[in-house]
Structure 1
Amino acid sequence: MTFHVPLVDIAPYVGDGSPEARAEVARRIDDACRTVGFIQITGHGIPEVVIDGLTGAIDAFFALDLEEKKRYRTPPQINRGYSPPKSESLSLSLGVESANRMNDFFEAFNVGATQATYPDSPGLPQPDYADNVWPDVDGFEAGVSAYFAEAARVARVMTRIFADALDLPADFFAERTGHSLDVMRMNNYALPPGTDVTLDGDLVGMGEHTDYGIVTILWADRVRGLQVLGSDGSWNDVAPADGALLINLGDVTARWTNERWMSTLHRVKPPVIDGTIERRRSVAFFHDGDVDALIETLPSCVDAQHPDLYEPVTVGDHIAAKLAGSRAGVSNAAAERESARVLASRR
């Protein structure tokens, strides 16, 4: 069976759509979340000028000298700033060891929601809501911040659709995302001069992983590289349609729904052409939920045929275990179900 990522126009939820139009969107989202876990959306309403500002900021920063970019590194526990090539291992976020630890070759820059983002929620724990590190690059902060705000809006539109699709109260997700751990990661898959990486045909751009939170909003170049694990255990190339954003579910949603909706495994395999890597850019906005929100399986997703698969855990504890794997090299021992899927795919 051919692998297919559904394309859904969410405009009825962005504008003043009719109840019937919204119900059809929610039905299609539910079907995609049950069967694929990845979705393409149009009608999201992000202006092209905002996307242009984002890509200009990305290009300006990643064009800097590697040593200059390293000035903006932060310790592993602070999910902000620059990550150079071969400093992370996404598979360790699932507790899966690779032959070479911390070997994902992408470089990235992270920004996120801070204490100042949520003035009505004082005393948020640090470094979960750490201040951002802004590079001295003309237009970078403005361009990135404008897109961050738009992606945050789209993420909340998606969770409103999720509530309808799961027959939950309209404010179910809103009540758990009032001070959401939102992080945006700008990725660059192109090797800076002097980087020690061998193009041996098995290069890992970004290791197999699931996303950590509720939902991810992904802008990406239409360049090969992203691969999604199908239900038959095969890896499938995915690229967005023109003007579309990619949406995928995170582990928090999989836990809430008792895997009725799955956080789909994905990875990035670099496109190598004539012995060089074709540059690929992506920007992932992670909408993860309040740090103190409790993830408990929805009663509607548990029955005799579907026993509860997960113990309750807070968003903060869940995310901390994931980040300790990817950024600090501490294998996540609490991800048995996810790691089993990775190992099965490798077989």
Structure 2
Amino acid sequence: MNTIPSVDLREFLSEDHGKKKKFIREIGDAYEEIGFVALKGHFLSEQLVEDLYAEIKKFFALPEAVKKKYEIEGIGGQRGYTSFGKEHAKGRKEGDLKEFWHFGQYVEDNPVLEAQYPPNVMVEELPRFNEVGKETYRMLEKTARYVLRALALHLELEEQYFDKWIKNGNSILRPIHYPPITSEPENAIRAAAHGDINLITLLMGAHGKGLQVQNHKGEWIDAIAQPDELMINVGDMLSRHTNNRLKSTIHQVVNPPRELWGTSRYSIPFFMHPVSEMPLDCLENCIDEKHPKLYEDITAGEFLHERLIELGLIKA
């Protein structure tokens, strides 16, 4: 597969049984083949997208000293600001050429989880920043819920199988700024080759060249979405849970050609995480003689902790 398939969520949401089955088949096949789709028909309005980009551009343009006061120690970068070059891909020492912000879960009806998660960080200088971030978080979480329902049906599970695990899950909305490149990077790129940790990732801002996906032949192919599409990929948690039936594909964000070094790039992934208690044990119906069990049993919380250590965001 040398292109990223495009699917339309409105088919799954329609009353037409044939269209719903078509969506389930197309997204399931894509995730078994390459692990990525471009999705139309999501719940983000054009206005909300415009508002979010406006707010995050204002934030990343703030003086360094102002941004630094929102970098919270001791929480592994799970909320607020993470400064340039601090995160690196698993197995690499060089920091990625990016800075980013984290919006986290807005917990409903669960005081225990509310106490466990770090609170969201309020930006005093930008009165609409947190409001717009929260609304975007909600709409991406809603989109992700329906994608996972389609995947549950593809896996011959009950349609709402994932619902209880993702309600109040430890999901993260991460606006990223890749600043202009001012000198020849020494063995560093904007985001080194990696797989995502979580169940699925919904990416805003993959409209220009930069994001690349590795296909089964080891070739890098450009992943470019249309302006009305989100790029959505399988993360390691879902791959593990399905005994690698659904593929968590290695991807990267490469540096632009030298003539574009002076430009910033923004992208906004939403990392859909379940609650920590979710067992990631390989599903029984994804194991057979041809597909023996590949992974040890582990919870989502244990797996996340291991990976944050590998990424350099928390200490062992």
Calculate the TM-score normalised by the size of structure 2.
Answer: 0.93
Which shifted more, 3-12 or 170-179? 170-179
Query: Do structure 1's residue 109 and structure 2's residue 101 form an aligned pair?
Result: yes
Matches within 5 A, 1:299-338: 299-328=284-313
Distance in 2, Cα, partners of 1:182 & 1:27: 26
Partner of 2:246: helix, strand, or coil?
coil
Query: Do structure 1's residue 130 and structure 2's residue 129 form an aligned pair?
Result: no
User: 2:35 is aligned with what amino acid?
Assistant: G
Query: Do structure 1's residue 171 and structure 2's residue 163 form an aligned pair?
Result: no
Query: Do structure 1's residue 7 and structure 2's residue 6 form an aligned pair?
Result: yes
Matches within 5 A, 1:59-208: 59-75=57-73, 76-89=75-88, 91-92=89-90, 96=91, 98=92, 101-114=93-106, 117-119=107-109, 121-124=110-113, 129-136=117-124, 137-191=126-180, 198-200=183-185, 202-208=187-193
Deviation, 1:247, is 0.2
1:343 corresponds to: none
Distance in 1, Cα, partners of 2:35 & 2:313: 28
Deviation, 1:242, is 2.5
Give 5+ residue unaligned stretches, structure 1. 332-347
1:39 corresponds to: 37
User: 1:151 is aligned with what amino acid?
Assistant: L
Distance in 1, Cα, partners of 2:154 & 2:32: 11
Give 5+ residue unaligned stretches, structure 2. none
Query: Which of 18, 21, 31 lines up with 2:16 in the alignment?
Result: 18
RMSD of aligned C-alpha atoms? 2.0
Deviations 1:158-179 (A, max 9, x none): 1111111111111211122222
Query: Do structure 1's residue 265 and structure 2's residue 250 form an aligned pair?
Result: yes
Deviation, 1:312, is 1.0
Distance in 2, Cα, partners of 1:124 & 1:102: 34
Distance in 1, Cα, partners of 2:260 & 2:252: 21
Deviations 1:267-290 (A, max 9, x none): 111214337243211111111111
Deviations 1:223-249 (A, max 9, x none): 221111111112222121131100001
Deviation, 1:34, is 0.7
Distance in 2, Cα, partners of 1:144 & 1:280: 19
Residue 272 to residue 329, structure 1, CA distance change in 2 (3 Å): farther
1:213 corresponds to: 198
Calculate the TM-score normalised by the size of structure 1.
Answer: 0.85
Contact persistence 1:8–1:40 (CA under 8 A): yes
The answer to which structure has the higher strand fraction is 1
Deviation, 1:202, is 4.5
Structure 1 vs Structure 2: percent identity of aligned residues? 26
Partner of 2:201: helix, strand, or coil?
strand
Partner of 2:87: helix, strand, or coil?
coil
Partner of 2:121: helix, strand, or coil?
coil
Distance in 2, Cα, partners of 1:206 & 1:200: 12
